[in-house]
Amino acid sequence: MQVELTVPTSWETVTLRKYLAYLKDAENYKDDEEAVTAATLMHFCGIQPDWLSGINISDLNMLKYKLNQFINNQEHPLQRKIFIDGQAYGFEPNLSTMTYGAYLDITKWDTFTIDDNWAKIMNILYRPVEKKSMGNYSITKYDGGKGEGKWLDVPMSIHFGALFFLFNLLTDLLSATLKYSMAEEVHPQYKKILERSGEAILQLLSSQITISPASTLFLKNL
User: What's the pLDDT score for residue 29?
Assistant: 80
Strands laid side by side in the 87-91 sheet: 81-84, 87-91, 126-133, 136-139
First to last CA, the chain: 6
Q: How many C-beta neighbours within 10 Å does residue 122 have?
A: 22
Does pLDDT of 181 surpass 70? no
Across 185-208, average pLDDT: 45
Residue pLDDT, tens place only, 70-91:
655 667 899 999 999 999 999 9
pTM for the complete prediction?
0.75
Residue pLDDT, tens place only, 87-108:
999 999 988 888 888 888 887 8
User: What's the pLDDT score for residue 178?
Assistant: 53
- Assign 190 a pLDDT band (cuts: 50, 70, 90): very low
34-43, 143-152, 153-162, 208-217: the lowest-pLDDT one? 208-217
> What is the domain partition of the chain in residue ranges?
3-73+209-219, 81-205
Provide the pairing of β-strand 87-91 with 3-7. Answer: unpaired
Angle at 11 between CA 116 and CA 94, to 5 degrees: 65
List the beta strands (DSSP E) in the chain: 3-7, 81-84, 87-91, 126-133, 136-139, 215-219
30-44, 61-75, 204-218: the lowest-pLDDT one? 204-218
DSSP-derived secondary structure for 111-133: ---SSTTHHHHHHHHEEEEEEEE
Does pLDDT of 179 surpass 50? yes
Does pLDDT of 159 surpass 60? yes
User: What's the pLDDT score for residue 222?
Assistant: 35
Calpha distance 31→193 (Å, rounded): 26
